[in-house]
Amino acid sequence: MCEKNSKTICTRLNRIAGQVKGIRQMVEDQRYCVDILYQIHAVKAALARVETEVLRSHAAWCVEEAILSGDAAQQREKFHELVDVFAKAKL
């Protein structure tokens, strides 16, 4: 992963960690359930954006490198890695 993407993703993950801590505090404070659910939804959406950024980074660096290498085995490996990730996500 390139350094620029890594910093951006780490910043987003730090923000998400803060949101999760906030949700925990809401639960401890016995806040209204719907308010907690809204915050959970926001965290899930933020994680989905991070997932998209990691996928873009993987395509831009790892997959592109495999394509440019001309190595068919490496290309297949990168393709199968992506298929495996998305297959597990469906479980």
pLDDT of residue 2: 66
Residue 29 has φ and ψ, to the nearest 5°, of: -80, 0
Residue with tokens 């933020």: 46
Q: Is the separation of the CB atoms in 78 and 69 below 8 Å? A: no
Instruction: Tell me which DSSP letter residue 33 carries.
Output: H
pLDDT tens string 46-69: 999 999 999 999 888 888 889 999
Task: Look up the CATH number of the domain holding residue 69.
Answer: 1.20.58.1000
pLDDT higher than threshold 90 for residue 33:
yes
pLDDT tens string 73-83: 999 999 999 89
Question: pTM for this structure?
Answer: 0.80
Question: Which structural domain range is residue 82 located in?
Answer: 3-89
Structure confidence at residue 19 as a pLDDT band (50, 70, 90): very high
**What domain count does the chain have?**
1
pLDDT of residue 5: 84
